[in-house]
């Protein structure tokens, strides 16, 4: 069992870990396709999202807003629908309405009493600014794809976290749902990791490609990590 007393900083993936992006994506896209006479199963939309997002991000950094526009266009093409420019903007424009999971804010407040909190996200600065209003806590650092001109699973986010925080990677617990985007690069650089295996329509993978890695901690949600922290603290008291 990882000794959490050695941890001083928690870094968080945002979308999928703190924010329910599966619901956000589906609430933006399903009505759009229905309006065009296409009833696509949620799992199909999400699998197409995963495939196209990963392929586009692998080609090098562009604003995530642009990535999402092209993801929308490609999903539309796969479903036999040619989306307009305005329709392609619906997905990135919807991010401001994506909601935190029910345990996110209370858990972050508990974590913030004990650790420095950091965001490490594949997002644009302006898009995260809207999400930040919903999270209701202060973050010591916010590291976005726009700032490092790179997308996870590249290492740039994590290297920038080490530079800014100026602590050994063994003092940082990276908390994330995606094995592919987060657990693999974080572990490679020596971070401690917690896999938040939230319920997903794409079971045990979530909105990500498959990946093989062994996280230090496995929990079903952030509340589970809070309970683990409390148990270790009581055990060491």
The DSSP result for 90-140, as a single string, is HHHHHGGGPPBPTTHHHHHHHHHTTSEEEEEESS-HHHHHHHHHHH-S--S
Token couple for 147: 């700032």
Catalytic residue among 13, 20, 103, 124: 13
Give per-residue pLDDT as tens, 27-53: 999 999 999 999 999 999 999 999 999
Q: Is the pLDDT of residue 218 over 60?
A: yes
Indicate the pLDDT class of residue 5, thresholds 50, 70 and 90.
confident
How far is Cα of residue 72 from the mean position of the Cα atoms in its chain? 19
Q: Is the pLDDT of residue 236 over 60?
A: no
Element (H or E) spanning 194, and its range?
strand 192-196
> Which alpha helices (DSSP H) does 115-221 contain, by range?
125-135, 145-148, 156-165, 184-188
Four-point Cα dihedral 197, 200, 204, 210, nearest 10:
-110
204 is catalytic: no
Q: What is the mean pLDDT of residues 205-230?
A: 94
pLDDT at 3: 82
CATH topology of domain 22-96: DNA polymerase; domain 1 (1.10.150)
The reply to whether CATH 1.10.760.10 applies to domain 4-20+99-236 is: no
- The domain segmentation of the chain, as residue ranges, is 4-20+99-236, 22-96
pTM, to two decimals: 0.95
Give per-residue pLDDT as tens, 194-214: 999 999 999 878 999 999 999
Q: What is the mean pLDDT of residues 108-114?
A: 96
Q: What is the mean pLDDT of the chain?
A: 95
């Amino acid at each position: 069992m990882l000794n959490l007393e050695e941890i001083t900083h928690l870094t968080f993936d945002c979308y999928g870990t703190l924010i329910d992006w599966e619901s956000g994506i589906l609430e933006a896209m399903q009505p759009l396709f229905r309006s065009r006479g296409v009833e696509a199963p949620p799992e199909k939309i999400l699998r197409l999202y995963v495939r196209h997002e990963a392929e586009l991000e692998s080609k090098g950094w562009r604003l995530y807003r642009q990535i999402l526009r092209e993801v929308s266009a490609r999903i539309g093409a796969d479903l036999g629908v040619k989306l307009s420019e305005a329709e392609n903007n619906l997905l990135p424009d919807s991010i401001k309405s994506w909601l935190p999971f029910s345990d996110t804010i209370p858990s972050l407040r508990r974590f913030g009493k004990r650790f420095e909190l950091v965001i490490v996200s594949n997002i644009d600065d302006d898009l995260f600014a809207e999400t930040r209003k919903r999270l209701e806590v202060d973050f010591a650092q916010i590291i976005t794809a726009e700032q490092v001109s790179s997308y996870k699973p590249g290492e740039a986010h994590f290297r920038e976290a080490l530079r800014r925080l100026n602590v050994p990677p063994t003092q940082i617990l990276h908390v994330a749902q995606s094995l592919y985007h987060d657990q693999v690069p974080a572990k490679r650089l020596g971070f401690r990791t917690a896999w938040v295996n939230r319920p997903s329509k794409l079971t045990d993978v979530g909105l990500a490609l498959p990946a093989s890695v062994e996280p230090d901690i496995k929990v079903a949600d952030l509340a589970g990590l809070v309970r683990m922290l409390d148990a270790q603290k009581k055990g060491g008291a």
